[in-house]
Structure 1
Amino acid sequence: MVVIPRNIFLPIALFLWSVGISQELPPIQNFSPADYSSESQNWAVSQSSQKLIYIANNKGLLEFDGARWTLYPSPNASILRSVKVVGSRIYTGCYMEFGFWEKDNVGILQYTSLSAKIKDQLSRDEEFWGILEFGDWIVFQSHNKIYSYNLSDDRVNTIDSETFVPKIFKVDRTIHFQKMGKGVFRIENGRDILVYDQEPLKTNEIINIFTSGRELLFLTRDDGFFRTNNGKLEKWNVPVDKLLSGISLYSGLQLNNGNFALGTISHGLIITDEYGNIIQQINQLNGLQNNTVLSLYEDLDRNIWLGLDVGISYINIGSPFRVYPDGKGLVGGVYASIIKDGRLYLGTNQGLFYKVLDTKEDFRFIEGTEGQVWSLSNIDDTLFVGHHTGTYQVIGNSARQISNVQGTWKVGSLENKQNLLLQGNYDGLYILEKVADTWRLRNKIDGFEHSARYFEVFDNQIFVNHEYKGVFKLEVKEDFSNVTSLNVDTDILGSNSGIIKYKGDLLYAYQKGVFKYDWNSNSFVRDSILSGLYKAKDYTSGKMLVDRKNGYLWTFSNTNIGYVTEGRLASTPTINQIPLTENIRNGIIGYESATALPENDHYLFGARSGYFTIDVQDFRENEIEVSIGSVQKAGKNRIETEKSLIDPTGEGKFNSEENSLEITYYVPDYSKYLKPQYQYRLEGIYPNWSDWSETASVSFENLPSGSYTFQVRAKMGERISDKMDSYSFKIARPWYLSNLFLALYIIGGILGSILIHSSYRRYYHSRQRKLIAENQREMELTKAQNEKEIIKLKNKQLQEEFKSKSNELAASTMSIIKKNELLTKVKEQLASSIEDKESVKPIIHVIDKNLNQNDDWELFKEAFNNADRKFLKKLKKAHPNLSPNDIRLCAYLRLNLSSKEIAPMFNISPRSVEIKRYRLRKKMNLEHDDNLVDYILKL
C-alpha cells in the first residue's frame, strides 16, 4: 500500500466526521476476528447460488451461511488472496497455488489444486490476487502473470508482464488489465493488446473499470474517475472528486442500481449515486469497525460486503431501515420527536435538540433545556416541551420556560377552550392560560394529587391512567379549578399501561390486550380486533401513539411494532406489524415515540441511543429458504471430526449405539434487523413443532431404534417459509434385538417356557405331594391329637367313673360294715339283755344268717369289679389256689381296710382276720419281710 502523510488527511477526516456523524445510515453488521475465529485481514468476497458467503482470509477460506462461520485452512498455510464462486466450485488463489473447493457428500469443502499441474510454469514467489470467469476459462492473476485455465481440456494459457499487474477486470465480453507504466490491455485470442496508454492510466493504479453505454469508466486509486469519449480519455468531473482528491482508494464496485461503492485505505466506505453525488460516508466513527476496505461485494439481496483490514462487515443498503446511531452520545436516548417548520426536534434524556431537514448538518442543542425531556406537543402551531424542570415553549432554535412546576409529563388541548391547555405533572393536573399571546401557568386543579403521565379529555371529564392505581375518571368544574367527583377503575391496571383517544374512542392498553371505554356501562371492554396488535406473552409496553399525518395508531411489543390503518374495503381497522424485536430496536420501554417524516410512509422511532427510521411501505420480506447444513453423530464421549459427519441429502442409517445426533440448519439471509427463527420436529418421536428460536442447531440424544424424519422450517418476521427441509434416518435395533436374536429369543422363549412349565409342573407335583404328605401328617397328628384328647377324655371319664365306683364301693363297704356292726350289736344286746334265750333265738338265727349270707359280698364284688376290673383277674392268675374267702380278703385289703374294718365283713373277730391274713401270706408265698397290703396294691 502507498503510505501518505497523515497531515494531508486531517481536513478530510474532519469533513468525513462532520458529515458522516449526522447521517442516518443503513443497518451495518460487523464481525470481528473473534466472531469468525480467524485472522483479521479479508482480501476478497464472493457468494454461491445458495447465498453462502465465501471470503479469502489471511488464514484460509471462510464460509458463512447466515448462522455460523466455518474456516477451511489455506491448502499450503499461506494467505488466501482471492476467491470466486463459479457454479458449485469455489476458486481460490494464494501463494504459489490456485485451485478450487467443492463440497463432498457430507457438506465439507475439499480442495483440488489446478496449479499443481503447471508447477514448472509458476514464477518465483507468485501470489494470485484476482480470479475471473470467462466462459470455459477461469482466469487467475498474479502481479506479473495471467493464467487462463480451460476447464474442459485442462489447457493453460499464460500472459507474462514485465511490469506490475495490480488487478484484472471483466468488461463486457473481454478481460482488461493494467500494466503499470504501460497502460490498459485487453486479452484477445490468448494475447494481450494495448488499449489505452494515456496518463494517468499508465502510472495511477486502476481500482476498477465500469461500462457506461459504449464508453468505459476508470476508477483510479488517487485521482478519482476517468472516462472514454469516442476513444479519448478525459476526467469525469463529479461532486465526489473533491473528496477523492485527497484520499486513496483500494477497492471499488458499481452496484446493481448504478450507484458506486468506493472502499478507501483509511477513510472507510463512500457511496455515491451514478452521477458521482455523495450519498453516504460510512467509517469507523459511525458504524464500521475499521477504515481500510480491502474488498467489496454486492450479494444477491443487494447487501454490500466489506472485507476489512480488521474484520468483516455488511451493509443492508436496500433495507427500509435507517439508523442514527449516536455513537458519540451527542443526543442520548430519544423520548420524543416532532417535525415543525422544517426542523426535526428530538427530546432526549440530555435535553432538546434540533436539525434542519434535508441537510447534512448535525443536531444542535437548544440552550436552557438541559435534562430530561418527556414530551413534545404541537398545539395550534405552538411547540410545547414537557420537561423534568417544567414546561417550555419553543420558537425556532430557542426555548422559553412557561411553567416551573417540576415534572411535566404532557401538554394537551381542551375542547372549546382555545386559550387554555391541560398539563399532567408528577403531582397532578395543571392549567396553562394564554394571555396576550403569552402562555403562563394559571392554576392547579384541586382534588387530584396523583401523577398524570397519561390523560385524555372529554368535555369536562378527564381520564388519567396510573399504572399502579388504575384509571381515574375526574369530573371538574367548567373553569377547571377543582374536581367535583372522582372514581377509579382498579379492575384494569398493569405495568407500562397507557390510554389514548383514537377516532373519538378512549383506548386502554396493558398486558391483557387493548380495551375500549363503554360509555353506557362506564367500564372498559376488550376490543378483539385491536387486541390483535400483540400477544400477552409478547407484551412490553401499553404506550400507544397516534401520528397526526396519517392517523395511524402505533403500539410496541417484544416481537414487533404494530400499527392500525383504516380498512380499504370496510370500516374494520387493519392490523399491520413490522417484525422488529425489542432487543434489536433498542427502544425505551414505556417511553416509545413515533413521528411521521415528510417522505411518504417514513417514520422515526426513538431508541436508547439515537433513533431509527422505517419506510413502512418499502418493508418487504425476502423469500425464506431454510436448509439443513450438517448432520453429525453426537454424544458426550464422541470427538467432533469429519468422520462423524453424515450426508444430509441421503437417508441416514445408524447403528444402535449411534443414537445421538446434532443437526444444524440455516437461512442464508443477511438482514441485520430481521433475524430468522427456526422451528423443528422429529417425526417418529416428537410429532409437534418446537417453539420458535433463533438457535440454528438441535441435538437429539439416546434416541430409541426406529425410523425418523427431521423437519425444519423458518420464519422472518411473521412470514413462515413455504418450504421446509428434511432429513430421514433410521436407527438400527441393538444386536440383542436383531432378527436373528429375536428368532433365538422366540425359540429360547418357547424352550424356556417348556422347561419352565416342566419345572413348574415337577415343582408343583412335588409340592403337591409334600402338601398331601404334610396334610396326611397333619391329619394323623390331628387324629392322634384327637385320639389323645378322646383317650384323655375317656381316661378322665374313667377316672370319674372309677372315682364314682370307688365311692360306690366305699359306700357299699361302709354300708356292709355298718350293717354287720349293727346286727352284731343287736345280737349282742339280745343275748345279754334277754333272759329268755329261746325266745330271741329265732331272731339271733336270722341275724346270723344275714351276717353269713353272700349277698353283701356279691354286691361288693360287683362294685369292686367296676372299680378295679383287672385286679381280680390278675389275682386269680397269680394265685389260682386262693379260695373265695381269700379273694374276698384280698379285695378288702386292696381297699386298704384295716383288720378291724374287715372283721364285720366276715362276721368274725379282728383276731380271726389276722389269722386269715397269715394264712393268705402263706398261700401267696410271701417272705417274712414282704408287706401283704403293699403286694396286693402293686398287683
Structure 2
Amino acid sequence: MRSILIKLLFFFFIASSLQAQELLPFVENYNKSDYQGDNQIWNVAQGKDNAMYFANNHYLLRYDGVIWEKYTLPNKTIIRSILIEGDRIYSGSYKEFGYWYRKDGKMKYVSITKKLRLFAEKDNEEIWKIFRYKNALYFQSFNDVFIYDGKHIQKIKFPFLISYCFVANDNVYVASVEKGVFKMDGSQIQNPKGWNVLKNTVVHAIEEYQNKTYIFTQKKGIFVDEKGILKPWNNALNEVLKASTINVAKFIKNNKLVVGTGNRGVFIYDLTKNTYENIDRNNVLMNNSILSIGFDKENDLWLGLDNGIAHVEVNSPITFFYDNSGLLGSVYSVATTSKGYLIASNHGLYEFESGNFKMIPNTQGQAWNITKINNKYIIGHNDGTFCYENGSLVKTNKISGGWNLSKSIINDAYFQSTYSGVLVYNDISKLTEHKTIQNLSKPIKYVAQNRKNEIWAADNYRGLYRVLYDDNYKTIKVENITQQSKIKNDFGVKIFEFRNEILFLINNSWYSYDALNNKLEGNKTFNDSFKNITDVVAIDEDHFIVLQNGVLYHIYAKGNKFIWNIIQEKYYKGKLINDNLRIFKTQNHYLLNLDDGFISLQLKYENKQNKGVKIEAFNEGGLVQNDSKIKFNTELKINVISGIYGASKPNLYYRLNDKSEYTPVLNGLVVLNNLNSGSHSILIYKNDGANFEKVSSFEFTVAQPWYFSFWVIVLYFLLIGAVLFFYYKWNKLRYVQKLKLQAEEQKHQREILEMELKAENELNVQEYEKHILELELQTKSSEVAGKSLSIAKQSEMIENIQSILDSEKDFNKLKSEIKKAIKINEVNKHEWETFETNLNQIHNEFIINLSKKYPHLTPKDIKLCIYLKMNLSSKEIAPIMNISFRGVELHRYRLRKKLNLSQEDNLSKFLLTL
C-alpha cells in the first residue's frame, strides 16, 4: 500500500511539470464510406508518386488527395503489411508476398512467391511486417523471416513466436512473445545484455533517438537503453501509456514522439517542451485504437485506425481548440490568460483552465468581444460591459451590446460601439466613467478616429456616419457620408484601420475620405490589391486577415508590398461566423474565432504553396494521356493531384480553352461533359489571392461524332448519290407525267373552251330571243296604243255622227254621211279581244302583284289600274271601258278608297311604284 502511495505521489509530482495542451493539430478523418474498404488499417506509407497507400485487410488502398482506389490480390487474401521502395509497393499477405506497380492509371500486382514452396501446408502464416536491412528485404511472419535480395529468398525459422522485428542502431531486433527481445546476426540470435526485464512482454516498437534506444511495450510502458542499461522511461506520460496499451510508436521531426495506443488514441509528446497532446475520440478522432503510423513528405501523421484513417497535421502552423461537447456554443471572441483562455460565446463568458470549461457567474447570454488592455480584459456583452482582472469579473456599465472597443489613433481615448450608439472612455482604467456621443442613438458596429473631434461610425445595418463634436463631446454635426457620396448599396459597412489611415469596405469596394470634397473616394491601392473582399480584420500594423470568395488569407504588409498566405478552407469551412470575425494577437500567434472553438495560427507563417501539380485524366474508366483523343459525347474526369495534404496544399483553379474566367478546382476533380469535337486544353493555376500562376496543363482532342466518321461520311455520299439518282428518276417520271397532264389539260381546256363557246352562243341566242321578245312586247305595246288610238277615233266618229245628226236636216244625205263615218272608223269585235289579250300580256306581272297585294279588286278595277298605269286620261279611258267620263271619275274615286289612298296621293304615280 505504501509503495502504491509513493508511486502516486511521484506521478503527481512529475505531472505538475507536464502541461497537457488544449490546442490540437488539425485532423481529417476518413471512414469506410469514404474509401469503401474494410475496417482495420494495418500499414500506412507514402509512395514516390506522393499517393498514400494503406494495407486494409482484403484491399490495398490508394489515395492521391483526389480519389480513393482499392485493389485486391489475385487470391483475395488479407493484406497485412506494405513497404514502398521506388515505384514498387511491396505487400505481405497470407502465404504470399510480392509487389505492386502503377500502369495506365491502375495498380498491377506481381507475386514474388508464386510457384515457390516457401510456406508449409500446416503453417498459418501471414506477413505482418516488411522492412529493409542493408541490401535485402525482410518479410516477417509470426514464425519466420524471409530474406529477399532481389533474386533469391532465404527462409529463417525461429524456435519461438515472433511479435515483430525492428531495425535500430544498425541492428535487427526480434521481439518474441514470451522470451524477450533478441538481436539478430544473420541467422543467429542472442538476447541483449540487461534486457531480461522484457521477457513475457509484448514489444510493439523499438526506436533510436539521440543515441538512446527506446523499447515500447504493450502494457509495461516505455523502456530506455542508455549505455547498455535498460530502465523505464522517467516521464509522467509513461504511467499514462501503461494503461493505454501501446500499439505503435515513432520519433518524428521537431523532437516529437508519437505513440499510438489501443484505447486512448494517439499521444504526441514534445520532448523539448515536455508537453503532450492526446488526440482521441473525446476530441476529434473517430476511433481510439491506433494500429499503424505513417508519414508524408510534409512530416504529417497518417494514422491507421481499427476503423478508419486519420490525417493529423502535426507540422502545420495551424492548431485548433475544439469543443465537441456543445457546452461552449459559438465563439465570438477569445483571449489568452496566464492560466488558459477567456472565451466569449453566445452562451456567455467562459474560463478555460487545466482542460476544463467554467462559465463565469452572471454572464449568461451573448458575449460579443474581448479586448485586452494591459492586464485587464474588457468584455462587451448583451447585458453591458464587464471587466475581468486577476480571475475576478466586475460589471462596469449596463449599456447593452458592446460590439467593439477601438483605440483612438490620436490620443488614449477608447470608443465602444453598442446597440444604442457610441461610448467614449477618456481613461480606460476608469471604465465606470464614460460619455455618450449624442444624436447617434442607433446600433453602431464599428468606430474609428484619426482626427481630433471627429469619429467614424458604421451602422450595424447600413450607413456610414461622420460625427463632429466639441472638446466636451457635445455633438456638432452628424453626416451620413455614404448618402452624401451617393453610394446606393451601403449595407454592412466595415471600418479598417491601416497604418494610421481609415479605410472603408463597402459592397466589396474600398474607400477613403476626401476631406476637400467631403465625400468618399475609391482607394486605388486597396481596390487594385484586394478585390472581391467581403470582410477584413486587423491583427497589428503589418498584419491583417481578409475573406475573399469564402477563403481566408493572412496578409503581411511588407513595406508597400502585400504578401498573401492562404489559410486552407478545410480548416474553417462552414464554421466562420459571418460579419463577426475576431482576432486576438498573443506573442507570435493570433487566435481566430469559430463556431465550435478557435484557430491558432503563427503570425509569421508564409504558405509557400506547392507548384508541382500532376494531372491524371480518365475517360470511360481508362487513363487518357496528354495530347490524346477521346470519344465524342463522353465524360472526361481530370484529377488535379498536388501530392500535398497539409497546410501548403495549393489553392487551384482551372480555365478551359483559355477562357477568361477562373473556375475553382473542387476537391481536386474537374469533370467535363458535352465537349465539342476538336482540340481542347485545360490550364491549371495556383492562386495566392492576388495572382494566378500557371502550374500545369493538359491537352486533348475530342473525336468527331460517329455520324461524322470516314465510313459514315462515305455512306453519306452513297446515300446522297442514291438520293440524287432517284431524284433524277423521279423528276424524269414527273416530267413525263407532267407532259401527259399538260396534254390532258390542254384537251380539257379545249373542251372547256368549246363548252364556254357553246354556252356563250346559247347565251347569245337567249339574248337574241330576249331581244325578240322585247321587240314583240314593244309591238304589243304599239298595238295596244294603236287600239287605244282607234278607240279614241271611234269616239271621235261617234261625236262626228252626233254632230252630223244635229246639223244635217236632209235625211238621205244624213244617212249617207253617217254610213260614210261609220265605215271609215269601224272597229270589229276581234280587234277588241286582241287588244285586251295583248294588254294583259304586257302587264301580266303588274296584274299578279296587284292581285296579291289587293285581292279584293275586281277585273274592272284591275283594267282601270292598267289604263292609269299607262297614263291614260279619264277621257281616253271612258270609251275603252264603254262608260262615260263621269263614270270613269266615279270609278277612280272608288278605286282610291280600295287602295287606301288619301286625297293628296297621286293614283297614277302610286300604281307605277307597284
**Distance (Å, rounded) in 2 between the aligned partners of 1:94 and 1:546:** 56
1:404 aligns with 2:398: yes
Match runs of 1:664-679 below 5 Å: 665-667=639-641, 669=643, 671=645
CA separation of 1:202/1:411 partners in 2, compared to 1, >3 Å: closer, same or farther? closer
Task: Note the C-alpha offset of 1:749.
Answer: 2.5
Corresponding position of 1:55: 54
Letter in 2 for 1:260: L
1:325 aligns with 2:322: yes
Aligned with 2:773: secondary structure? helix
**Distance (Å, rounded) in 2 between the aligned partners of 1:338 and 1:250:** 38
Corresponding position of 1:30: 29
**Distance (Å, rounded) in 2 between the aligned partners of 1:520 and 1:169:** 78
Aligned with residue 730 of structure 1, among 695, 703, 710: 703
Residues matched between the structures, number:
808
Deviations 1:312-342 (CA, angstroms, capped at 9, x unpaired): 1111122121112233456553323446889
Task: Note the C-alpha offset of 1:787.
Answer: 3.7
Deviations 1:4-50 (CA, angstroms, capped at 9, x unpaired): x9xx9999999999978643222111122333233322111122211
Aligned with 2:716: secondary structure? helix
CA separation of 1:629/1:100 partners in 2, compared to 1, >3 Å: closer, same or farther? farther
1:512 aligns with 2:508: yes
Match runs of 1:835-914 below 5 Å: none
Letter in 1 for 2:664: W
**Distance (Å, rounded) in 1 between the aligned partners of 2:346 and 2:811:** 171
**Distance (Å, rounded) in 2 between the aligned partners of 1:81 and 1:709:** 44
Corresponding position of 2:832: none
Corresponding position of 1:285: 282
Match runs of 1:258-277 below 5 Å: 259-273=256-270, 277=274
Deviations 1:423-453 (CA, angstroms, capped at 9, x unpaired): 3332233445659x74423554443321233
Letter in 2 for 1:608: D
Aligned with 2:524: secondary structure? coil
**Distance (Å, rounded) in 1 between the aligned partners of 2:280 and 2:144:** 35
Corresponding position of 1:793: 767
Letter in 2 for 1:713: I
216-225 or 204-213: bigger deviation: 204-213
8 Å Cα contact 1:625/1:667 also seen in 2: yes
Corresponding position of 2:616: 628
Task: Note the C-alpha offset of 1:141.
Answer: 0.8
1:649 aligns with 2:625: yes
Corresponding position of 1:392: 386
Aligned with residue 581 of structure 2, among 568, 578, 592: 592
463-472 or 302-311: bigger deviation: 463-472
8 Å Cα contact 2:631/2:702 also seen in 1: no
Letter in 2 for 1:226: V
Corresponding position of 1:304: 301
8 Å Cα contact 1:533/1:555 also seen in 2: no
**Distance (Å, rounded) in 2 between the aligned partners of 1:655 and 1:525:** 55
CA separation of 1:15/1:270 partners in 2, compared to 1, >3 Å: closer, same or farther? farther
Task: Note the C-alpha offset of 1:483.
Answer: 3.0
**Distance (Å, rounded) in 2 between the aligned partners of 1:625 and 1:9:** 54
Corresponding position of 1:692: 664
8 Å Cα contact 1:263/1:292 also seen in 2: yes
8 Å Cα contact 1:428/1:450 also seen in 2: yes
8 Å Cα contact 1:42/1:58 also seen in 2: yes
Corresponding position of 2:98: 99
CA separation of 1:426/1:678 partners in 2, compared to 1, >3 Å: closer, same or farther? closer
8 Å Cα contact 1:434/1:440 also seen in 2: no
1:603 aligns with 2:590: yes
Aligned with residue 527 of structure 1, among 523, 541, 554: 523
Aligned with residue 463 of structure 2, among 466, 470, 482: 470
CA separation of 1:110/1:574 partners in 2, compared to 1, >3 Å: closer, same or farther? closer
8 Å Cα contact 2:415/2:447 also seen in 1: no
CA separation of 1:531/1:60 partners in 2, compared to 1, >3 Å: closer, same or farther? same
Letter in 1 for 2:498: Y
Match runs of 1:241-252 below 5 Å: 242-243=238-239, 246-247=242-243, 248-252=245-249
**Distance (Å, rounded) in 2 between the aligned partners of 1:462 and 1:740:** 81
399-408 or 671-680: bigger deviation: 671-680
Corresponding position of 2:884: none
Task: Note the C-alpha offset of 1:522.
Answer: 2.2
Letter in 2 for 1:465: A
8 Å Cα contact 2:454/2:467 also seen in 1: yes
Corresponding position of 2:142: 143
Match runs of 1:56-75 below 5 Å: 56-73=55-72, 75=74
Corresponding position of 1:713: 684
8 Å Cα contact 1:471/1:490 also seen in 2: yes
Corresponding position of 1:460: 453
**Distance (Å, rounded) in 1 between the aligned partners of 2:792 and 2:492:** 130
**Distance (Å, rounded) in 2 between the aligned partners of 1:654 and 1:212:** 54
1:426 aligns with 2:419: yes
- State the TM-score, normalized to the length of structure 1: 0.73
Corresponding position of 2:310: 313
**Distance (Å, rounded) in 2 between the aligned partners of 1:36 and 1:723:** 27
Deviations 1:879-901 (CA, angstroms, capped at 9, x unpaired): xxxxxxxxxxxxxxxxxxxxxxx
**Distance (Å, rounded) in 1 between the aligned partners of 2:66 and 2:13:** 37
**Distance (Å, rounded) in 2 between the aligned partners of 1:448 and 1:823:** 136
8 Å Cα contact 1:709/1:729 also seen in 2: yes
**Distance (Å, rounded) in 1 between the aligned partners of 2:16 and 2:285:** 13
**Distance (Å, rounded) in 2 between the aligned partners of 1:119 and 1:564:** 64
1:88 aligns with 2:87: yes
Letter in 2 for 1:424: S
**Distance (Å, rounded) in 1 between the aligned partners of 2:719 and 2:538:** 76
* Alignment root-mean-square deviation, CA: 4.9
**Distance (Å, rounded) in 2 between the aligned partners of 1:22 and 1:241:** 13
8 Å Cα contact 1:563/1:577 also seen in 2: yes
Aligned with residue 721 of structure 2, among 723, 747, 764: 747
Corresponding position of 1:619: 607
Task: Note the C-alpha offset of 1:556.
Answer: 3.0
Aligned with 2:242: secondary structure? coil
1:761 aligns with 2:760: no
**Distance (Å, rounded) in 1 between the aligned partners of 2:99 and 2:255:** 31
Letter in 2 for 1:146: V
CA separation of 1:332/1:584 partners in 2, compared to 1, >3 Å: closer, same or farther? same
Match runs of 1:494-509 below 5 Å: 494-509=490-505
Aligned with 1:81: secondary structure? strand
1:485 aligns with 2:461: no
Percent identical among aligned pairs is 19
**Distance (Å, rounded) in 1 between the aligned partners of 2:747 and 2:10:** 120
Corresponding position of 1:897: none
Task: Note the C-alpha offset of 1:631.
Answer: 2.6
Unpaired stretches in structure 2, ≥5 consecutive residues: 826-914
**Distance (Å, rounded) in 1 between the aligned partners of 2:779 and 2:82:** 137
Letter in 1 for 2:608: R
8 Å Cα contact 2:213/2:226 also seen in 1: yes
CA separation of 1:260/1:445 partners in 2, compared to 1, >3 Å: closer, same or farther? closer
Task: Note the C-alpha offset of 1:370.
Answer: 4.8
CA separation of 1:314/1:17 partners in 2, compared to 1, >3 Å: closer, same or farther? farther
Task: Note the C-alpha offset of 1:614.
Answer: 1.7
- State the TM-score, normalized to the length of structure 2: 0.75
8 Å Cα contact 1:48/1:85 also seen in 2: yes
Deviations 1:618-647 (CA, angstroms, capped at 9, x unpaired): 322223424326432xxxxxxxxxxxx324
Corresponding position of 1:642: none
8 Å Cα contact 1:681/1:690 also seen in 2: yes
Aligned with 1:335: secondary structure? strand
**Distance (Å, rounded) in 1 between the aligned partners of 2:499 and 2:212:** 59
**Distance (Å, rounded) in 1 between the aligned partners of 2:812 and 2:9:** 192
Aligned with 2:292: secondary structure? strand
